[in-house]
Structure 1
Amino acid sequence: MVGDGLNSPRHQGGKTVTSENQNIFPDKYSMRNTRILNLKRVGLKGLSEDIIETACAELVNAVSLEDNLLTELPWELHRMSELLTDLDLSKNKVSFIHSFVSRFSRITRINLSCNLLRALPMEFAGLQTLCELNISHNRFDHLPSCIYELEKLEKLVANDNKIKQIDASDCGLGALRQLNYLNLNNNDIQLVPPVLGNLTNITKLKLSGNPFRQPRHQILASGTGAILNYLRGRIPM
């Protein structure tokens, strides 16, 4: 059981229920056929061991916990560390990610959007199979440095935070050689560094809704190629 006391799921009549007495035990045959544990919008405040045990037995590799009441990455998921490839924790109240996240040795996609996150643990850098990360609609004031260690990362969605600057150096975004999609819309970015234009692996770049003056809206509206060309033209000789 989850160790959060009164808010944990509990057993009644052999079923796993939330604190609101709603039966939320998923159908194991559906899990077997789809390899998905789907617990969207069921008022979850935690996960029970029996749900995870069943998911492991059915070789589930995708877990959706979207739109619940979770405040952290559920500890019980560590039992799925060698199975999990897709994790959706969007639309919760998550403010903390446990360091055991580094055990997800096969994970390719994580959605943490619409939560209360301000930071990610350094152990996040261990997710060397991660291709897609969504941290939009959180409270980040900078991109966590652990993200720059994700060598397989192709898509980074970080719009609608409070990010103030872009690190496009070889130790920042420049280290992500596979990155082709970057969304930094609606942040608090004051300056776009010209060296960002050197990251030609990026084919989709979104920067609208920030307070910087250059590039102007007309260039932003012209697409990624125009933005990168403009930035390269401003790199000092």
Structure 2
Amino acid sequence: MAHAVVRVVERCENAQDNESLDLSECQLMQIPDAVYHLMRNTQLKTCDLSSNVIKKIPAKFALKFNLITDLNLSHNQMTKLPDELADLNALARLNISHNSFIVLPPVVFKMPKLRELDASHNAIIEIDTDEMITSDNLELVNLRHNPLGRTCHRKLKNVSTSFRLEISEYNEDDDW
């Protein structure tokens, strides 16, 4: 455990120089308060929290790191995102792939600058397509490898969007 703590501290110190915080593969179950403390005088541009066992992102994350443009939350155990992430006014790329989402978090449609969303490899069965269609900045939404329900799949296939939508082919055998 001490080795993991040292790794987190070293990576925070590196981020103070390059404005890019990489806490991937640190066995984190949450973002330690020490990270916020160590990063208090640093304007982060990117944050990689992938390949941990994080279940949720705290609301204060958006407050402390409000200038990030790239957030990687892939390969964790998340099921939802806090509404406060809508305050990430500069966020352009969000990766929430390989998590445990069963619905696409509505907050992603409230992020003013979000251009790319990777939500592949989750358990997403439903998406609020009305919300999605009204998003002006999205350029790419990857929903591949999700067990989208038949109705949702059909709606997504027939919707005309201003962005590229990637979904896996619908498999009738996946319906129970």
Paired residues, number? 167
For residue 67 of structure 1, what is the aligned residue in structure 2? 25
Residues 129-138 or 100-109, more deviating: 100-109
For residue 116 of structure 1, what is the aligned residue in structure 2? 77
For residue 185 of structure 1, what is the aligned residue in structure 2? 144
| Deviation, structure 1 residue 161 | 0.7
Say whether 1:150 aligns with 2:150.
no
Distance 2:52 2:84 in 1: 22
| 3-state DSSP of counterpart to 2:159 | helix
- The answer to whether the 8 A contact 1:148-1:176 is kept is yes
Partner of residue 199 from structure 1, selected from 157, 161, 164: 161
For residue 95 of structure 2, what is the aligned residue in structure 1? 134
Residues 134-143 or 175-184, more deviating: 175-184
Alignment of 1:27-176 (within 5 A): 47-48=8-9, 52=12, 54-55=13-14, 58-79=16-37, 80=39, 83-103=43-63, 104-169=65-130, 172-176=131-135
| Deviation, structure 1 residue 209 | 5.1
Larger RCO (CA under 8 A, 6+ residues apart) = 2
Q: Closer, same or farther in 2 for the Cα pair 1:194/1:109, shift >3 Å?
A: closer
The structure with the largest alpha-carbon Rg is 1
Gaps of 5+ in 1: 1-6, 10-16, 25-38, 40-46, 214-237
TM-score with structure 1 setting the length? 0.62
User: Which protein is richer in helix relative to its size?
Assistant: 2
- Runs of 4+ in structure 1 deviating by more than 2 angstroms, as ranges, are 73-82, 194-198, 209-213
Q: Percent identity, aligned pairs only?
A: 28
1:163-206 C-alpha deviation (Å, 9 max, x unpaired): 1122221xx21232111111101111112316863312x1x321
Distance 1:144 1:110 in 2: 15
Distance 1:77 1:175 in 2: 35
TM-score with structure 2 setting the length? 0.82
